[in-house]
Structure 1
């Protein structure tokens, strides 16, 4: 009788418990010829052994856990914010920001951005946040002001934060105020050694002031491209040994005193000089203070990230600037380069966040004052009509930002398989994301294997595919 009761209970439970649905493979495709642009494909079911027999196999391994992700996005430069705030109607503005920062169907879900502390080349004019009368020195920072970012940049960031409260913000200066520099100008020069203490106070004043105005500073670099002195827009050279001294002797004690928890990144320049951050991280005080290294894409190879990461595995990596432009006008070539090097390459080399340069520019690749005159942004805003055009940068980043959510973990997948390049992630809800780039001219059919799951999949030639299950 007892055995019969147990059997009845077991049968009842079996009937009551719903069957676990077999996972479906969903896919979104962008092709180099633009016939498909983040286009959803019909879902596919698990494959039988016969369906994938003899196919090359992409093995996704959730047990191989790497860095957690902060996210993807672009810089809200002065130019981008000015266009968004002055050349779009309120409805157009809200629609565009929701498309870029929202996580709904068809939205990109950007969760990382960068803003400038003072002017860059993509500003309407050159200024700092402490421009005293006649360029006079201001050691007490009595003329420090956030009035300029409050015009366009901060309102745009706050609007993005309302749409996506998980958005993380990085801030970087292109130059210290002119009165702190050897050149006496925002253009070229170095920071005077005597200005180190007041410049640390300047950063603390910025972080605390921006926070009061609703703009967090989750990450900070102290100098954009410190090994470059541009001759037509703000910039400042800052050698590695001097940056290390500033971190350890000035900024660290100032942030400690002011109870500032912002995570500070070194370098913020190209892949071609890994010795620069390695020199800084060799300084014990600087290393103890720093959270990681920021990289740009304009020279060198992404493998530089691996070199520094191997020497300092406890330091985070971020790709914080890269720009497309009319120097690479063909959609298929530049789209493939970005997916291969930024979306796949930089994250495989440890990047927790990946940023492009301008979020938005106008039909003349501006506005800008000096610097790049043919840079592309994620979107082009027609300054006369407000019409929006989406670029190859938009679609390249959309293959990651729409599907890889903040807090996702990079997991194992092959770097290469023939013409295929891959990177894989696991979201916090357990969902898997596999991004595949087919560099070859012909479609590639292959198997995807993850645990007990097997799928048959195809990537068109010269195309990127994001697979989700």
Structure 2
């Protein structure tokens, strides 16, 4: 993956201060703060009371203008992340910090189906064959046994802590025998009808096997970054034509046959190409089975999904991967809040997810020399079993702790690039969460939140973001 540095609409490295505010039944707003330039990390501050009028920047929250429903916020439980979590001596507390109400209540996970570049053990798929066997079209050797070592136990614990947690699953590669290179590392999908049918059954068996473990799969993507291949770690090219045909001819019908309600999501790659997903959705035979498309941050404009949604308004948008790393040292919440948490949800995303939940002090464990060698996890788990909560932990938390699954996005104004940014959501219980960002590094910004005829004034320090939850 490549982190691009682009114009003001691309990746930006300014710092930001994060703040969250919650309005109680009394009409007051409670305030939580995280900042880039100070010591506050989701720290609760003094409550706010309504003021008599509003002047200057006004964030008017319009309950009558509604957009997409939210599925959740979180990160990827890679093999490496699960390995680190499972073997930590402080695992129970860490899991509470990630998924519990006392922590940040992560609500959505991305689960690789088999190997990636981040591995605690050697990469595998669910239908690996001995060298003398060339195919397994009937999936006789399919097994999730290796996931039971530490991935499934971590998932079960996460679901016990947060039963509302949802999972999207994605393979980095098909089994080697389904590929032209007969290798998990690099190569392309072997595009014959028998391989396509077998791959559809691979997903069916995966969903059924996980369901038998008490782990429902909310959605699947057919391939992570299908335009990318690397011979140093599990990857696979999958053309849009092959993805279309698998869904249209085999996967969609197989889900119907087996009464599987798991959503089918396409693409799962960067903002810089809309033709891959667009070509698939232009085929009505495939589109009837597809719920939406998934996107990554490593190329293109961050507002791409808004335009794509306008072209395909009946299909959902999922944002599924972006990683923090050593290229952005220090504690800096600006980019993640502006481009991802606020930027993607304002551009119709139902999910916002980072890459690895938990890596070790060496950015791993990893396999091979490819992929990302300086990525950070949402948390870092140290050799003594303890952890450090990285910037991404608080960026996610300012959303997931206050915006719950099935919340609906409400309308708020859009100001200039250096002015306050905002996004708002109404939860099922009627409470409203409002996230406000001051991206400037030179001055504080004062604004009013206007909702239900009430006005709340706040001065947001430079490089800061605020989340307000309001209950009428």
TM-score calculated relative to the size of structure 2: 0.91
Match of 2:47 among 32, 43, 49: 43
Q: CA–CA distance in 2 between the matches of 1:142 and 1:268?
A: 29
Alignment partner, residue 166 of structure 2 = 168
Whole-angstrom CA distance in 2 between matches of 1:203 and 1:447: 49
**Bigger Rg, structure 1 or 2:** 1
State the alpha-carbon separation in 2 of the partners of residues 259 and 80 from structure 1: 32
Please report how far the alpha carbon of residue 219 of structure 1 lies from its aligned counterpart in structure 2 after TM superposition: 0.5
- Judged with a 3 Å threshold, the aligned counterparts in structure 2 of structure 1 residues 449 and 135 are, in CA distance, closer, same or farther, namely farther
Within-5 A mapping of 1:98-247? 98-104=96-102, 107-123=103-119, 124-134=121-131, 136=133, 137-194=135-192, 195-247=195-247
The CA distance in 2 between the partners of 1:429 and 1:201, in whole Å, is: 40
* Cα shift readout 1:360-415 (whole Å, capped 9, x = no counterpart): 00011100113211111111000x20111010101111111111011111101112
The answer as to whether partners of 1:27 and 1:468 remain within 8 angstroms in 2 is no
- Indicate if the aligned counterparts of 2:305 and 2:317 stay in contact, CA closer than 8 A: yes
Mapping of residues 233-382 of structure 1, within 5 Å: 233-332=233-332, 335-370=333-368, 371-382=371-382
What secondary structure, in the 3-state scheme, does the structure 2 residue paired with 1:261 have? Answer: coil
- 2:29 alignment counterpart: 25
- Structure number with the higher helix fraction is 1
The answer as to whether partners of 1:119 and 1:127 remain within 8 angstroms in 2 is: yes
**Separation (CA, whole Å) in 2 of partners of 1:179 and 1:154:** 25
In 1, are the aligned partners of 2:187 and 2:231 still within 8 Å (CA)? no
Tell me, yes or no, if the aligned pair for 1:378 and 1:393 is still in contact at 8 Å: yes
- Distance in 2 of aligned mates of 1:109 and 1:403: 9
- Asked whether the equivalents of residues 135 and 179 of structure 1 are also in contact (C-alpha less than 8 Å), the reply is no
Matches of 1:458 and 1:430, distance apart in 2? 26
Shift of 1:468: 2.0
Q: Which runs of 5+ in 1 are unaligned?
A: 1-19
**Any conservation in 2 of the 1:274–1:307 contact (CA below 8 Å)?**
no
- Spell out structure 1 runs of 4+ moving beyond 3 A: none
Please give the TM-score of this superposition, normalised by the length of structure 1: 0.91
> Are the equivalent residues in 2 in contact too, given 1:69–1:409 (CA < 8 A)?
yes
CA 40–21 in structure 1, closer or farther in 2 if over 3 Å, else same: closer
Bigger shift: 262-271 or 245-254? 245-254
Report the counterpart of residue 62 of structure 1 in structure 2. 63
Q: Distance in 1 between matches of 2:447 and 2:26?
A: 20
User: What secondary structure does 1:291 align onto?
Assistant: strand
Equivalent-residue separation in structure 1 for 2:465 and 2:92 (angstroms) = 29
Q: Deviations over 1:321-379 (max 9, x none)?
A: 111111121322xx211101110010011111111111100011100113211111111
User: 3-state DSSP class of the match of 1:411?
Assistant: strand
Distance 1:135 1:60, change over 3 A: farther
Q: Deviation at 1:422?
A: 0.9
Q: Does the aligned pair in 2 maintain the 1:75–1:357 contact within 8 Å?
A: yes
Question: Tell me, what secondary structure is at the counterpart of 1:266?
Answer: strand
Asked if 1:437 is matched to 2:441, the reply is no
CA distance in 1, matches of 2:85, 2:364: 13
CA distance in 1, matches of 2:378, 2:113: 21
CA contact (8 A) 1:172 1:222 kept: yes
Give SS of 2:324's match.
coil
**Aligned equivalents of 1:250, 1:188: Cα separation in 2:** 24
Q: Take 1:31 and 1:111, find their aligned partners in 2: how far apart are those partners?
A: 23
Q: How many residues are paired up?
A: 439
C-alpha separation between the residues in 2 aligned to 1:447 and 1:432? 15
Please provide the CA RMSD for this pair.
Answer: 1.4
Question: Cα offset for 1:22?
Answer: 4.3
- State the distance in 2 between where 1:48 and 1:355 align: 39
**Alpha-carbon distance in structure 2 between the residues aligned to 1:231 and 1:339:** 34
Q: Larger RCO: Structure 1 or Structure 2 (Cα < 8 Å, ≥ 6 residues apart)?
A: 2
Q: Partners of 2:362 and 2:307 in 1: how far apart?
A: 39
Contact 1:67 1:352 in 2 (8 A): yes
CA–CA distance in 2 between the matches of 1:451 and 1:209? Answer: 48
CA-to-partner distance for each residue in 1:430-462, whole Å, 9 max, x for gaps? 111111111112111111111211111111101
